[in-house]
Amino acid sequence: MKSFDEFATYREIKSQAEAWTQAMERTRAVSLPKAEDYQQVVFTGCGSTYYLALAAAALYQELTGCAARGVPAGELLFQPRTILTDQKNLLVAISRSGTTSETVKAVENFRAEKRGEIVVISNYGEVLAPLADVNIVIEKGQEDSVAQTRSYASMYMAATTLSARMAGRQDLINAMDGLPNACNLVIRNYESFAQELGSNLDFDRFYFLGSGTRYGLACELNLKMKEMTLTHSEPFHFMEFRHGPMSMVNENAVVIGMLSDSNRAQEAKVLSEMKALGGTVMGLGEKETDLVFESEIPESVRGALYLPALQLMAFYRSVAKGLNPDRPRNLTAVVQLNL
């Protein structure tokens, strides 16, 4: 069997802190639009970057108080009237490659119709870059593997920095300097835990719970489990999990909760109930849970810390199942269509 270091996915997960740093630096260096100039901000992407758009839009609205939503680029392209209004819009387009067909075409249409300004966040300065009014390229997030790990985290870090800057929150921007070190500590402290949980093939279903700004992250981590391990996996808001989905919980189920500070008691209660039903539960949060960050970084900007250990969990499960985490079945790094 190949050593773990021979897999690009493993190397990319382990080295992502450097990409986080570059993402913050690049986003701090550009001139950004003013939040108050827009009635709506639309974050868009496809696959992983759609889930990033969900997380980023929730954070942007929380910090700025201005309306924002995350949408799939395919919906923005084919169903624009359900998303865009006659009010002034800011479009934040997110794409690892910068060449994803639906995203490129949706941005081209947005520009042609003079809907508003465009910010592009990517890891490659490709087709999307010339369409942007503001271009944020994070080369250190580039990957050889198909499933997004380092790239996703780097672009999410850029979106977090963008939200904090447009909210005028210099205190949050300064606090984010501690995130790369906190990332490395999470990996160092919990890699073996992630390996143990991920390699246990007695489990046959995984549920990722996250609310508010964490729901989009839960969706993305669910996608990593699907892509790399071909395992049944679903994301839910914490409170929603009780309304039907918990019927799937048994001794073969893992329920992973991304705990917040503000609603921790209610969220932890959901995990306790799932444990009583026979499920294996895992909580992640700043303190007093299974995986603790102990970062002392404000909750609104430390969301990326939920990612590394759970990315590693999916990697180890893929290897344990005899799969190739670098090349998931049926997938390519970029989806390009004739539109």
pLDDT in tens, 200-211: 999 999 999 999
Taking alpha carbons only, the member of 135, 30, 44 closest to residue 89 is 44
Beta-carbon neighbour count of residue 288 at 10 Å? 10
Q: What is the CATH number of the domain that holds 37?
A: 3.40.50.10490
Residue 285 DSSP SS3: strand
Quote the distance between the C-alpha of residue 167 and its chain's center. 20
At 105, which amino acid appears? K
- Calpha distance 53→158 (Å, rounded): 12
Q: What is the pLDDT of residue 235?
A: 98
- One domain for residues 16 and 88: yes
Same domain as 148, residue 187: no
Of 177, 195, 226, the last residue of a domain is 177
In a domain, 306, yes or no: yes
Q: Classify residue 338: in a domain, yes or no.
A: no
Contacts of 10 (CB under 8 A, 6+ apart): 4, 312, 315, 325
135 and 280, same domain (yes or no): no
Residue 159 belongs to some domain of the structure: yes
Percent helix / strand / coil, the chain, rounded to 5: 55, 15, 30
pLDDT digits (tens, 9 = 90+) for 210-224: 999 999 999 999 999
242/102 same-domain check: no
Q: Quick one: residue 288, left, alpha or beta (phi over 0 = left, psi -120 to 50 = alpha)?
A: left
7 DSSP assignment? S
pLDDT in tens, 243-279: 999 999 999 999 999 999 999 999 999 999 999 999 9
Are residues 211 and 173 located together in one domain of the fold?
A: no
- How confident is the model over 28-43, as a mean pLDDT? 95
Statement to judge: residues 161 and 65 lie in one domain: yes
Task: Indicate if 226 and 115 belong to the same structural domain.
Answer: no
38-66 mean pLDDT: 97
Yes or no: say if 331 and 213 are a contact pair by the CB < 8 Å rule: no
> Which residues span the domain enclosing 134?
4-177
Q: Same structural domain for residues 219 and 282?
A: yes
Residue 291 and residue 158 share a domain: no
The number of distinct structural domains making up the chain is: 2
| Residues above pLDDT 90, as percent of the chain | 94
Look at residue 282 in the predicted model and tell me its pLDDT.
98
- Does residue 44 contact residue 76 with C-beta atoms inside 8 Å? yes
pLDDT at 53: 98
